[in-house]
Structure 1
Amino acid sequence: MTVPTLENNRVKLSLLDLSNYKHLQRIAPQKDLIYYSPSDISTSEKLKDYVQLAVDGYYHKTIIPFIVFDKLHKAYAGSTRFGLINWKNKLLHIGWTWIGHEFQGTGLNANMKFLMLQYAFETLEFEKVEFRIDERNNKSRRAVEKLGAQLEGILRKDVLMKDGFRRSTCCYGILKEEWPEIKLKLINVIG
């Protein structure tokens, strides 16, 4: 599986692996960066384990992990990925996204998601993209709703968190036939 570099004038998404993840060591330990995730990236070793799981998924063709480079600030900003890739049914998830606090609210995330959605629908020709978000994570829920994703349902208490809490997960989706309208809207947002 060949992974492209997804890039526009604002952001560059390239394959995240064990050769480049160290660029994220400064960002990963930021307080509450992935509070709503069952993952742990708070130390260099835990970040390496997190990346190793993504790399393993890449070799099994179920994950495409990206390292995020913010071209405006000329700095590595975080990570995102395609996950739970179902090649037969032409469905994948976009998620596992975290960017440093200094990059949040700057338009970086909208640019990332635009490139990822464009690749999923126009290059891979997938039928659907899903997002799974902790029900309590209102900031991320608003962000995917702004993209045009529709809430399809809530999986009740389906994920065990690091602290033992059982979260409920909101399932959002975008269908291939919805992409042209969403694309036009996003182009206006990202400029």
Structure 2
Amino acid sequence: MKVPSLENDRVKLTLLDLSNFKHLLLVAQQENLTQYSPSDISTPEKLKEYVEIAVDGYYQKTIIPFIIYDKRMQAYAGSTRFGLINYKNKVLHIGWTWIGKEFQRTGLNVNMKFLMLQYAFETLEFDKVEFRIDERNTKSRKAVEKLGATLEGILRKDTLMLDGFKRSTCCYGILKEEWLNIKQTLL
């Protein structure tokens, strides 16, 4: 599988792996970055485990994990990925996204999601991109809705969180035929 490097004037997304994850150690230790995620990145060991799982998924061709570099701030900002990649049905998920607090609400997320959507629809020629978000995470839900994604339903109490809470997950989607209008809006 060819490793994409996605880049514009604001952000560069390159493959996250065991050779570069150390750039994220300080960012990952910020409080509440993954409070709505079942993933734990709170220590260097747990971040390494998180990356090892992502790398394994990359070799299984079900995940493409990225390290996020904010070109404006000249700093590594966090991580995101394509996941649950289904080549047969041409559907993938964008998610597992966490960025440091200093990068939030700066336009970084919109720029990287644009690049990822463009790659999914225009290079991979997939038919659908999905986003799965904790029902309580209103900030992420609003961000995905702002991108033009449609709420398709809510999976009730489907994911066990680290604290034992069983979250409900909002399922959003963007179809290939919606991408051109969304792209124009985002540009």
- Please confirm whether the aligned pair reaches a TM-score higher than 0.5, indicating the same fold: yes
Q: Which residue of 1 aligns with 2:82?
A: 82
Matched, 1:14 2:17: no
Residues of 2 paired with 1:87 and 1:95: CA distance?
17
SS of alignment partner, residue 36 of structure 1? coil
Q: Which residue of 2 aligns with 1:92?
A: 92
AA at the equivalent of 1:154: I
User: For 1:23-42, what aligned pairs fall within 5 Å after superposition?
Assistant: 23-42=23-42
User: For 1:108-147, what aligned pairs fall within 5 Å after superposition?
Assistant: 108-147=108-147
TM-score relative to the length of structure 1? 0.98
Residues of 1 paired with 2:44 and 2:2: CA distance?
28
Give the drift of 1:4: 1.3
SS of alignment partner, residue 28 of structure 2? coil
Q: Identity over the aligned pairs, expressed in percent?
A: 79
SS of alignment partner, residue 25 of structure 1? helix
Structure 2: unaligned runs, 5 residues or longer: none
Structure 1: unaligned runs, 5 residues or longer: none
How many residues in Structure 1 have an aligned counterpart in Structure 2? 187
After superposing on structure 2, the runs of 4+ consecutive aligned residues of structure 1 that deviate more than 4 Å are none
Give the drift of 1:149: 0.1
Q: Which residue of 1 aligns with 2:50?
A: 50
Give the drift of 1:66: 0.2
SS of alignment partner, residue 26 of structure 1? helix
Give the drift of 1:3: 1.0
Q: Which residue of 2 aligns with 1:69?
A: 69
AA at the equivalent of 2:137: N
Residues of 1 paired with 2:7 and 2:92: CA distance?
20
Residues of 1 paired with 2:70 and 2:163: CA distance?
32
Give the drift of 1:168: 0.2
Residues of 1 paired with 2:65 and 2:5: CA distance?
11
User: For 1:144-163, what aligned pairs fall within 5 Å after superposition?
Assistant: 144-163=144-163
Give the drift of 1:186: 0.6
Residues of 2 paired with 1:154 and 1:172: CA distance?
9
AA at the equivalent of 1:152: E
Q: Which residue of 1 aligns with 2:185?
A: 185
Residues of 1 paired with 2:184 and 2:113: CA distance?
13
Backbone CA RMSD of aligned residues: 0.3
AA at the equivalent of 2:9: N
Residues of 2 paired with 1:185 and 1:28: CA distance?
32
Per-residue CA shift, 1:26-82, capped at 9, x if unaligned?
Answer: 100101011000000000000000000000000000000000000000000000000
Residues of 1 paired with 2:137 and 2:3: CA distance?
30
SS of alignment partner, residue 145 of structure 1? helix
TM-score relative to the length of structure 2? 1.00
Residues of 2 paired with 1:130 and 1:60: CA distance?
20
